Amino acid sequence: MSMKWTIFALTVLTVFSVSSFAAKPVREPATTAPEVFSVKVDYVNGFIIVDGTNLDPASASATIAGVNLTVDGSSTDTALLFPFSVDVSAVVDELGTYVLIVTTDGGSFSVSTFIPFALVTAPPPPPPGPDCPCSTEWDEKSTTASPNGFAGLTPYCGEDYGDFITVQFYDIPESNYWVLWTSWNAAESTGFCELYIDGPYRPLTTQAQFDACAGYLNNIITVWGNQNNTCFY
């Protein structure tokens, strides 16, 4: 073999050898964008829940009405849980539509979320008033979650006219309502208390009974607050 062909063969071999050991480019996997199916409020356990896919709790962050939310450790790729906080409760303090923004490594999205009741950070203690004849059924409903009670809900309205007091709860998603009221006629020394429509009508025979029922209902308003709406009943 001539020297010219020998040099050519070595050159070709060298090119192929270098090519066979060159690093191949690696394509980074595309990040899948998150999708949201629904936003729910769990009043009993104190969570805003975002259901969807590709939510990636490890990278997720969120705000509602401009206030930061913290991702709960039990969140998954299909359900992000954000517990209520004092800061959130201070802003989402009445029913209305609030902007929720969620951001993950896959992207960001915003959704207008209807909140039927204020977000409270913890269920309030049952109000006192054992001398009120209606306290037994009122206590039962105040410690039972919807649809069987109103634990964790904020009163839709509360009214005090001195001789007539009412506090009313509405669970709009469940189409449930509870009306607690008491009245007293000082001239006739008669009155009543009731959990309308789930409890019995109970007559009152003394001012002390009415005062106990009135204190019970006013304590609900003081501890739980209300939405400042006009009562329906």
Q: What is the pTM of this model?
A: 0.58
User: How far, in Å, CA of 16 to CA of 35, rounded?
Assistant: 48
CA geometry: angle 197, 198, 201, nearest 5 deg: 70
Q: Which CATH architecture has domain 35-115?
A: Sandwich (2.60)
Domain boundaries, the chain: 35-115, 135-224
pLDDT of residue 8: 40
pLDDT tens-place string over residues 67-126? 999 999 999 999 999 988 888 888 888 878 999 999 988 888 889 988 877 787 665 656
The answer for residues whose C-beta is within 8 angstroms of residue 157's C-beta and 6 or more apart is: 166, 167, 168, 226, 227, 228, 229, 230, 231, 232
Rounded to the nearest 10°, the torsion over CA 98, 77, 83, 180 is 70
The mean pLDDT value of the chain amounts to 82
pLDDT tens-place string over residues 40-83? 888 767 889 999 998 999 999 999 999 999 999 999 999 999 98
pLDDT of residue 123: 59
User: What does the pLDDT average to over 125-152?
Assistant: 83
Q: Cβ(143)–Cβ(119) under 8 Å?
A: no
